[in-house]
Amino acid sequence: MKQTDAVISGTGLFTPEESVSNEELVTAFNAWVDLFNAENAEAIAKGELEARTHSSAAFIEKASGIKSRFVLNKSGIIDPHRMTPQVAERPNNELSVMAEIGVKAAQQALNAAGLEGSDLDAVIVAASNMQRAYPAIAVEIQDALGAKGFAFDMNVACSSATFGIAQARDSIRAGSSQRILMVNPEICTGHLNFRDRDAHFIFGDVATAVIIEAKDVAQSSSNFEIVDTRLQTIFSNNIRNNFGFMNRTDERGVGTVDKLFVQEGRKVFKEVCPAVAQQINTQLADLDLQPEQLSRLWLHQANRNMNDLIARRVLGRDPTEQESPTILDTYANTSSAGSIIAFHLNRDDLTAGDLGVLCSFGAGYSIGSVILLSLIHISEPTRPLY
């Protein structure tokens, strides 16, 4: 039986109104360090406690490429007495924050695909963190949009979106759905330890959305066929967050720093980059494609130097900014949403027959790569496809 081809027919991006520059973040961090060291002067003098060290905006930009990040709440993050975003709890009869930003991104994606919420027959929320255990955020978004069918949440950390696209495509190919919304509401500032000098600059907040449809029902004039998906996971403790429903069963661990994002950044860099490049190269070879046939690499947006290295290993030369676009300078790491933001903002110049790879990597480790083929109009390709 011929399997149904799937296309990406629309994307959406919700960007919070507030942003925090490296300088603002470092000013708050350094003020907190001074407070901490003053409050603990005696213990530090006795050698019982280590004095904290200032952060540096120049280090952050050089080490990561990040200049600023969008956030849901700025005042709580840059308050040295708080160092945590302040987002009010909502009553159960109001849309939750994750669902709200997901719906905003979803509405844009639906518009781009020429669809209404009621045209959808499945909703997947794919993100690194869910703001509650249940009911699934995806079911709340399904309800808010008036979508039919079923909805579920899934979490593969920074690779959630590519894994979500793969699940959506598999569902379409298996015939269980025709039109799927995959949403990535990433409130990364909620799990970031703003008192951790090694990591306080890493994340920002955002929501992205992608419509994946069976090719024969898609109406949008600018679709990308999903040529191939490849998923890989390799267990590692180098990016970890021990927050979870069992925390309350051992009071000693409640509120400790391991209940927020923790990483061994240097190890992640060294271990993940070669694995990502190898996965893309193997995938291309299996499809009888040459790296030079790739017009674009929409890579996960964690670190500029990582992306340059991966792109170099795939292409065999330095990438141009157009070939491997960077959005982390203004968005920082937005977990699973990063590669989708890059795709959303950097694809309009492509024409029918152009190929690209959407690729994410992160905790797990997890690596997802999706080969996409630009179709100007699904029924009228203007030149022979790859």
Which sequence positions are flagged as catalytic? 158
d(CA 168, CA 354): 22
90 belongs to the binding site for ligand COA (CB under 6 A): no
Site stretch for ligand COA (CB under 6 A), options 52-60, 76-84, 107-115, 119-127: 52-60
Q: Please choose, from the candidates 71, 48, 18, 7, the residue with its C-alpha nearest in 3D space to the C-alpha of residue 201.
A: 71
Q: How far is the CB of 261 from ligand COA (least distance, A)?
A: 8
d(CA 5, CA 226): 7
| Interface positions, 343-372, toward ligand COA (CB under 6 A) | 362-363
**Residue 11, both tokens:** 């994307």
Q: How far is the CB of 358 from ligand COA (least distance, A)?
A: 16
Beta bridge partners of 373: 225, 355
Among 9, 11, 22, 64, binds ligand COA (CB under 6 A): 64
Site stretch for ligand COA (CB under 6 A), options 51-59, 96-104, 109-117, 177-185: 51-59
Q: Please choose, from the candidates 209, 14, 211, the residue with its C-alpha nearest in 3D space to the C-alpha of residue 101.
A: 14
| Interface positions, 139-178, toward ligand COA (CB under 6 A) | 158
Exposure pattern of 100-124 as b/e (b: 16+ CB <10 Å)? bbbbbbbbbbbebbebebebbbbbb
302 belongs to the binding site for ligand COA (CB under 6 A): yes
Nearer to ligand COA, 181 or 272 (CB): 272
55 belongs to the binding site for ligand COA (CB under 6 A): yes
Q: Which residue is nearest to ligand COA (CB)?
A: 265
In the shown chain, the binding pattern of residues 104 to 143 toward ligand COA, with x for contact by CB under 6 A and - for none, equals ----------------------------------------
d(CA 338, CA 188): 12
Which amino acid is located at 19 in the chain? S
Residues across the chain: 386
> For the CA atoms of the chain, what is the radius of gyration?
21
Are 185 and 153 in contact by the 8 Å Cβ rule? The answer is: no
Q: How far is the CB of 268 from ligand COA (least distance, A)?
A: 4
C-alpha distances (whole Å) from 90 to each of 94, 95, 131, 207, 267 are 6, 8, 12, 19, 39
Q: How far is the CB of 78 from ligand COA (least distance, A)?
A: 15
Size of the site for ligand COA (CB under 6 A): 21
Nearer to ligand COA, 222 or 232 (CB): 232
Are 307 and 324 in contact by the 8 Å Cβ rule? The answer is: yes
d(CA 359, CA 347): 15
In the shown chain, the binding pattern of residues 251 to 290 toward ligand COA, with x for contact by CB under 6 A and - for none, equals ------------x-xx-xx---------------------
In the shown chain, the binding pattern of residues 194 to 213 toward ligand COA, with x for contact by CB under 6 A and - for none, equals ---xx---------------
**Within 10 Å of residue 232's Cβ, how many Cβ atoms?**
18
Q: How far is the CB of 59 from ligand COA (least distance, A)?
A: 4
Residue 153: DSSP 8-state: E
Q: How far is the CB of 330 from ligand COA (least distance, A)?
A: 16
In the complex, which residues of this chain contact ligand COA (CB under 6 A)?
55-56, 59-60, 63-64, 158, 197-198, 239, 263, 265-266, 268-269, 302-303, 306, 333, 362-363
